[in-house]
Amino acid sequence: MNRFAFAIAGLAVALTVSAQTITVGSKKFTESYVLGEIAKRTLENAGFQVDHKQGMGATAIVWGALKNGDISMYPEYTGTVSEEILKQPRASREAMVTALAKDGIGMSPDLGFNDAYGIVMRRKQADDLKIAKISDLQGHPDLKCGITHELLGRKDGWSPLLAKYGLHFDDVKGIDHALGYAALYAGQVDIKDCYTTDAEIKKYDLVVLQDDREFFPLYKAVFLYRLNLPQKAIDAVAKLAGTIDEQKMIAMNAEANQSKDYSEAATMYFAPKSSPEAASAQPKPVGNSRLDQLLPETLRHLELVAVSMAFAIFVGIPLGIWASKPGRLGVGILGVTGVIQTVPSLALLALLVPIPFFGISFTTAVVALFLYSLLPIVRNTAAGLSGIPVPLRESAAALGLEPSAQLRKVFLPMALPMILAGIKTSAVINVGTATLAALIGQGGLGEPIVSGLSLNDGPTILWGAIPAALLAIIVQVAFDLLEAGIVPRGLRLRPQGYEHDH
Amino acid sequence: MINLTNVCKRYGSLTALQPTNLEIPSGKVTALIGPSGCGKSTILRIIVGLVRPDSGEIRIDGARMDPESSLSLRRKLGYVIQDGGLFPHLTARQNVTLMSEHLGKPVDEVQRRVEALADLTRFPKDSLDRYPLELSGGQRQRVGLMRALALEPSTLLLDEPLGALDPLVRSGLQADLKEIFIRLGQTVVLVTHDMGEAAYLADQIVLLREGAVVQQGTLEDFQKRPAEPFVTEFLNAQRALVAL
């Protein structure tokens, strides 16, 4: 009897544990993906259900998601925690743990390796110019720099680095991390920032310049997690302490870059003895899996476009009607929708994600797309209505039609071609912009584009870019057909070629 | 009968209509004439309620025109502008029946009315389902007239109805209009800048200058008993044009 009760209790514990889903996030670069996979596997082995949201974006986005509970854990670096998140330069580990706890966040022990920032050059050029240390860069202002947006934007980033070493460069461009390696290899840039465990350093025969004035802080890899996670999960992750050294991390990064499969790369951590033959015996059929994902990705893309467009049409046309009326309200509506359009899409996402209601969600993606789709619809509705000649407006009023009937029966039908053109423009832009939804883990055809960019893998990018372009063309053609179908012939005629007078 | 009492309208410093009293008799055709900017179109637009006067009142068959009453009063007025003012997304037939259908009149009654109006205005029935841009200028003007007459209004207001037409079409339509006015026996107010047209179509003529009525009467009154030297000047100017 006693044993029976014990068994029931054990089963109940097992059920509650397995029913809990932990969401792990990662930043948009290979190592973060791989560490995310390792955390996922570790937690799964401890009996949890785990969801991994890959490549969510830069620090601000992922940290915001952790803080508001969208994700429960993600891989981070001690240097980023002290310099960027807590803004306590060179803080001790104890100080960081105390400060993070105030936000309900915990920090795991060091995983083992130090993935510091570094500066890389092509080995041949560095040798030719006799550059081995960052301070050797003095007197070479003509070297072209391709620096990640993240380092350029960081408080402990590019500008203080230049100041500390007294450097100056004439040509500094912001560039995506993975694309930057391709540019460096191709000679389009000469200097680039790196993570010292990047697999590309070996692959492209690059040299990491010695940080002789100790500018870059230590970037020990850790996991940040919400303190309300089950102790069992925290303990499981704590056991990873000191188990990943630089060599292992570089090897896993190289594997991930080669196989394009983060999960498989993470497997190396759990089964380091697996022979290379075994790995190559079952090569991941990259093409097929991409083809399999094409349909769900396209459908997801269409879902994002359709939902955001529906809102844009139902809000945009009434706003356009308002905006067509003379007065300050109309000017205000057009002004505000115009300003929204000029906010860069990445910036808009970064603005929405920290807001608790939005976070990294379908809603955020739809709201951002909705905002971008608004302007062409509002502007064209307003232009179509205010372009109606005064004599025709007066004729409609003089007939004795109520104002609402004038709008419904005369003005809106006359403005229909313009309104449809606005919706078409919106829809085509929307199909393109919806690829950005992948940046906040919402899928669609942006998924292969973002992951291709992070891996510097052209074919993967095309798996998203080509279907997205085709989709835009299909949308355009569909609207042209729709227009021919519903715009009355009387509005498609041009005022010329009268017949003879009667 | 239409009565304007002390009606005046200014746009900023520009006087469109000085305080004006005007009586337009029932069942007669009245022409408003004068040089550009004399206020003749303003009077018509005030009557139909498109322009609100600064002061004074307008009564149509005794009912006061104001924003509250304008909807129902407009349905008793037929208003025709230059080139017909047709809605391009509707066919000739749909333009004519727009209001009747909006008011929920029986379809067969509405269609019979279209046929009757086409006969009256001599509009070719096989063109009824064409769009305005598929019609000639004269045809568009006839459709505009049909649309204005669709609800059998007591009063017809025409603002330069023949202004956009070339001379041959114009004289043909003038004759048709005269016949229509006689057959319907309605109150008609017609704005024109052509004294010949006014004399041909109207029972009485109102000559305006700078927003004020100069003289009201027949062409003969104007010729024999001009109220001011301007009346004779205006007639001579028109004659000189015709002599060309």
Length of chain B: 244
- In sequence order, the 6+-apart residues with CB closer than 8 A to the CB of A102 are none
- Are A279 and A189 within one domain? no
> Is A498 near chain B, with CB under 8 Å?
yes
- Are A263 and A337 within one domain? no
Look up residue A170 and give its amino acid. Answer: D
Smallest CA–CA separation between A335 and chain B, in Å? Answer: 29
**Least CB–CB distance from A391: residue in B73, B85, B147:** B85
> Is A13 near chain B, with CB under 8 Å?
no
Q: In the prediction, which pLDDT does A249 show?
A: 87
Contact A354/A68 with Cβ under 8 angstroms? yes
Q: In the prediction, which pLDDT does A456 show?
A: 61
CATH number of the domain within which A159 lies: 3.40.190.120
Quick check: helix, strand or coil at residue A19?
A: helix
Q: In the prediction, which pLDDT does A496 show?
A: 52
Both tokens of B78, joined, read 């037929």
Last residue of a domain, one of A240, A264, A283: A283
**Least CB–CB distance from A489: residue in B45, B81, B131:** B131
In order of A200, A264, A271, A448, the CA distances from A456 in angstroms are: 10, 18, 27, 11
- Are A254 and A309 within one domain? no
Q: In the prediction, which pLDDT does A134 show?
A: 93
Q: What is the C-alpha to C-alpha distance for residues A206 and A180, in angstroms, rounded to an integer?
A: 13
- Are A251 and A362 within one domain? no
Q: What is the DSSP string of A334-350?
A: HHHHHHHHHS-HHHHHH
* Cβ <8 Å between A490 and B133: yes
Tell me the pLDDT band of A286, cut-offs 50, 70 and 90: very low
Query: Does the model's pTM come out above 0.80?
Result: no
- Are A55 and A139 within one domain? no
Tell me the pLDDT band of B29, cut-offs 50, 70 and 90: very high
Short-list B123, B98, B97, B94, CA closest to A489: B94
- Are A297 and A279 within one domain? no
Contact B47/B58 with Cβ under 8 angstroms? yes
CATH number of the domain within which A382 lies: 1.10.3720.10
In DSSP terms, A23 is beta-bridged to A51
> Is B154 near chain A, with CB under 8 Å?
no
Task: Say if A15 falls within a structural domain.
Answer: no
Tell me the pLDDT band of A151, cut-offs 50, 70 and 90: confident
> Is B89 near chain A, with CB under 8 Å?
yes
Q: What is the C-alpha to C-alpha distance for residues A197 and A13, in angstroms, rounded to an integer?
A: 40
In DSSP terms, B189 is beta-bridged to B30, B157
Give the domain range for residue A74.
20-111+220-283
Last residue of a domain, one of A229, A255, A283: A283
Q: What is the DSSP string of chain B?
A: -EEEEEEEEEETTEEEEEEEEEEE-TTSEEEEE-STTSSHHHHHHHHTTSS--SEEEEEETTEE--TTTHHHHHTTEEEE-GGGG--TTS-HHHHHHHHHHHTT--HHHHHHHHHHHHHHHT--GGGTTS-GGGS-HHHHHHHHHHHHHTT--SEEEEESTTTTS-HHHHHHHHHHHHHHHHHH--EEEEE-S-HHHHHHH-SEEEEEETTEEEEEE-HHHHHHS-SSHHHHHHHHHHHHHHH-
Handedness of CA A349, A350, A354, A355 (dihedral sign): negative
Residue A486 has pLDDT above 50, yes or no: yes
Residue A483 has pLDDT above 60, yes or no: yes
* Cβ <8 Å between B139 and A488: no
Q: In the prediction, which pLDDT does A438 show?
A: 80
Q: How many CB atoms lie within 10 A of CB A267?
A: 18
Contact B218/B204 with Cβ under 8 angstroms? yes
> Is B134 near chain A, with CB under 8 Å?
yes
> Is B183 near chain A, with CB under 8 Å?
no
- Are A145 and A72 within one domain? no
- Interval A61-114: pLDDT, tens: 889 899 988 899 999 999 889 888 888 888 888 999 999 999 899 999 999 888
Look up residue A28 and give its amino acid. Answer: K
Both tokens of A478, joined, read 């569909």
Mean pLDDT is highest, among A18-32, A37-51, A479-493, B83-97, for: B83-97
Tell me the pLDDT band of A277, cut-offs 50, 70 and 90: very low
- Tell me which residue has tokens 């306590």: A88
Across A297-316, average pLDDT: 95
Both tokens of B198, joined, read 């006014």
Short-list B80, B188, B187, B192, CA closest to B143: B80
Interface predicted TM-score (ipTM): 0.91
Look up residue A406 and give its amino acid. Answer: Q
- Interval B76-102: pLDDT, tens: 999 999 888 999 999 999 999 999 999
> Is A493 near chain B, with CB under 8 Å?
yes
Optimal mutation site among B48, B130, B133, B136, interface A, most CBs of chain A within 10 A? B133
- Are A319 and A432 within one domain? yes
Least confident of A9-13, A397-401, B90-94, B231-235: A9-13
Across A295-320, average pLDDT: 94
Give per-residue burial for A120-143: e unless 16+ CB within 10 Å, then b. Answer: bbbeebbeeeebeebbbbeeeeeb
Task: Say if A168 falls within a structural domain.
Answer: yes
Short-list A102, A104, A84, A54, CA closest to A234: A104
Break chain B into its structural domains and give their ranges. 2-76+153-238
Q: In the prediction, which pLDDT does A493 show?
A: 77
- Interval A209-266: pLDDT, tens: 988 888 888 888 999 999 998 988 999 989 888 888 877 888 888 888 777 778 888 8
CATH class assigned to B2-76+153-238: alpha beta
Task: Say if A356 falls within a structural domain.
Answer: yes
- Are A438 and A333 within one domain? yes
Q: How many CB atoms lie within 10 A of CB A215?
A: 17
- Are A143 and A263 within one domain? no
Instruction: Return the C-alpha torsion angle A373, A378, A383, A388, nearest 10.
Output: 130
Residue A7 has pLDDT above 60, yes or no: no
- State how beta strands B212-217 and B204-209 pair: antiparallel
- Tell me which residue has tokens 């976070």: A359
Q: In the prediction, which pLDDT does B66 show?
A: 87
- Tell me which residue has tokens 């056991």: A239
Number of domains into which chain A is organized: 3
- Are A162 and A253 within one domain? no
Q: In the prediction, which pLDDT does B31 show?
A: 95
- Are A331 and A424 within one domain? yes
Q: What is the C-alpha to C-alpha distance for residues A194 and A171, in angstroms, rounded to an integer?
A: 18
Alpha helices in A166-230 (DSSP H): 177-185, 200-203
Short-list A261, A440, A294, A299, CA closest to A367: A440
